[in-house]
Structure 1
Amino acid sequence: MTNLKPKILVVDDERLNIRLLYEGLRDEYQILASSTGMDALRIANTELPDLILLDIGLDDISGHDVCTQLKSNELTKNIPIIFVTAQDTYEDELKGLELGAIDYFRKPFSIPLVRVRVRNQIELKRKTDMLQYLSSIDGLTGLANRRQFDEHLVNTIRYADRQHRGLCLLMIDIDRFKQYNDLYGHVRGDDALKVVSRVLTKGAGRPMDFVARFGGEEFIILLTDSSPEEGALVAEKIREQVEQLHIPHEGCEFGFLSVSVGVAYTKPDIGEHIDERAFVEHADTCLYFAKESGRNRVICENFELHRPIKK
């Protein structure tokens, strides 16, 4: 059974303090524990806790150093940190807050007070996470939006550069969508966007595949650890599945709703960096050729994979 309790990482070099916090918080939270700074960094990177209660005076590296490293790591920078310490000077508290901690309480601590402050911070993080999620999702289709795609592309390119892995980018456009809206209305148009988005999500079904609404009637798919052939196969599968829906579209030369797809591929050599802008432009250029050469087809690296039969 999945544990849905928020995760709290308690970092303290005194077992008694860990035990006290564990006993005081375990009914509401999943408690992780560490007695060293380096171990805390490892746990934070692998478990991604919702909150860290961090002692300053650790045996190996200071809590301040742990906080600095967490805040400089893209993966852990948004995890809220509360310093728990016996130090009680104004300067100590100020330094912790300047490093990015959100709160500060002193030993010996009051468990009822700790529970209230922890609960407030967990609730604040939950709301912040929800707002961040909503800001990255397309409200109509439920897919990632352009903003989230741009962020994901940057991170994926970093990975591909480091590991020298291949990436495929699929740019998908619903053919003559303006005419579809004009003929059938925007409500039917919205329904068509939702249907196509479901086809894309099903077609790009691997865990690392990323589907987003790029804007208007355009969608984009990023395939990580893929080859040109894999990108072409996914694109053709999507084109076929949209065609097989047989959604009437009298404003299109085929008589039904269809999509055109452009596929770009890149794989960096050692020491090379993928040009993010050129990669997207390449996919867009392939899409342009797919539409210019008759629509309802896939163009990958400037060669045609499908030639549809016109009605």
Structure 2
Amino acid sequence: MERILEDWLLHTNRRPKILIADDQPTNIRVLYELFSAQCDIFMAANGEQALKICRAELPDLILLDVVMEDIDGHEVCRRLKADPLTSTIPVIFITAQNQAADEVIALGLGAVDFIVKPINSVIVRARVQTHLTLKLQGDLLRAHAFLDGLTGVGNRRKFDDDLLTNWRQCLRDKVPMSLILLDIDYFKRYNDRYGHQSGDSCLKLVAKTLCESLRRPHDKVARYGGEEFACILPKTKREDAVRIAEAMQERIRALDIEHLGSEVDRVVTTSSGVATLVPALGGGPEALLAAADVQLYEAKRGGRARVCAAGDE
């Protein structure tokens, strides 16, 4: 397990997170003692609590009992796999059920492993180690596939996934979600005047500045296309999103990147459209994206180098 911890710290700068869900405190204590030295442990005594912790903490691995009060382990697993936010979290069933049919059911629900009680600590540690290694490898592969090759921020595919995931989370929590669409002003003229290599350097600096302007880990920056970027701000009110967009605009202007082809300044500037909605049943994030796009158009039509915002909170 020490090697696993080293790998997680190297690639993610944090310890792996394990959720132990069991209605018997003795079982939780045994598993806690096995893994607490190398992992951050979360504990749930019933199915409802396990689901709540999963959505809030997004553990890297779940050790799940089958027989629990209120919601059994099978239903917990079924709900986790049906939710895009939690569907990739590996589940290991640890249960007193020991028939082959029980294992078939568990694996059919999407579990990655099945361990019969009473547990053998050596076997449990070995299997947890294996699945934490696989989880880290899978996360790294997915992260690479979702990155824009030039700027290092999320690509359009990553944006689409994050937009839908955060929309559903804000719908569940009944909180507002904001989106910023940002465009570099007269970027074609910049490329024509200074060359595509300078254009690439400009895009990298702008992307880096956008990332540095965000403080919360669940706020996301993506390259939406060409010289356009998108910033997803879950659980963010309109006034806070506007404040963030204005701060981004000032920080990009402060980079002092010469742009003599611009009609609004002698340095690189940006136009931003901000939209905020409280997700509602029956709707989707397309409405939020369309609203932000309208505001970006208004910012350009109004003279560029400005922030335009709208929203219904």
User: TM-score, normalised on structure 2?
Assistant: 0.76
Q: Show the counterpart of 2:228.
A: 218
Amino acid at match of 2:200: D
Q: Show the counterpart of 1:9.
A: 19
Change (3 A) 1:10 1:184: same
Amino acid at match of 2:155: N
Which of the numbers 205, 225, 228 marks the counterpart of 1:195? 205
- Mapped pair 1:92 → 2:85: no
Per-residue CA deviations over 1:153-193 (Å, capped at 9, x if unaligned) read: 33444456566655544322112223322333333222211
% identical equivalent positions: 42
Q: Show the counterpart of 1:276.
A: 285
- Mapped pair 1:239 → 2:228: no
Alignment gaps of 5+ in structure 1: 302-311
Alignment gaps of 5+ in structure 2: 1-8
Q: Show the counterpart of 1:106.
A: 116
Distance between the aligned counterparts of 2:22 and 2:276, measured in 1? 47
Distance between the aligned counterparts of 2:291 and 2:128, measured in 1? 49
Per-residue CA deviations over 1:2-45 (Å, capped at 9, x if unaligned) read: 99442333344555544544444444434444554444444444
Give SS of 2:63's match: strand
TM alignment of 1:240-255, pairs within 5 A: 240-253=250-263
Q: Show the counterpart of 1:177.
A: 187
Give SS of 1:142's match: coil
User: TM-score, normalised on structure 1?
Assistant: 0.76
CA contact (8 A) 2:84 2:165 kept: no
Larger Rg: 1
Amino acid at match of 1:54: L
CA contact (8 A) 1:260 1:291 kept: no
What is the RMSD of the two structures over their aligned residues, measured on CA atoms?
3.6
TM alignment of 1:149-168, pairs within 5 A: 149-158=159-168, 167-168=177-178
User: How many pairs were matched up?
Assistant: 298
Give the Å deviation of 1:93: 1.1
Which of the numbers 93, 104, 115 marks the counterpart of 2:125? 115
Change (3 A) 1:59 1:285: closer
Give the Å deviation of 1:128: 1.1
- Mapped pair 1:288 → 2:293: no
Q: Show the counterpart of 1:65.
A: 75
Change (3 A) 1:25 1:145: same
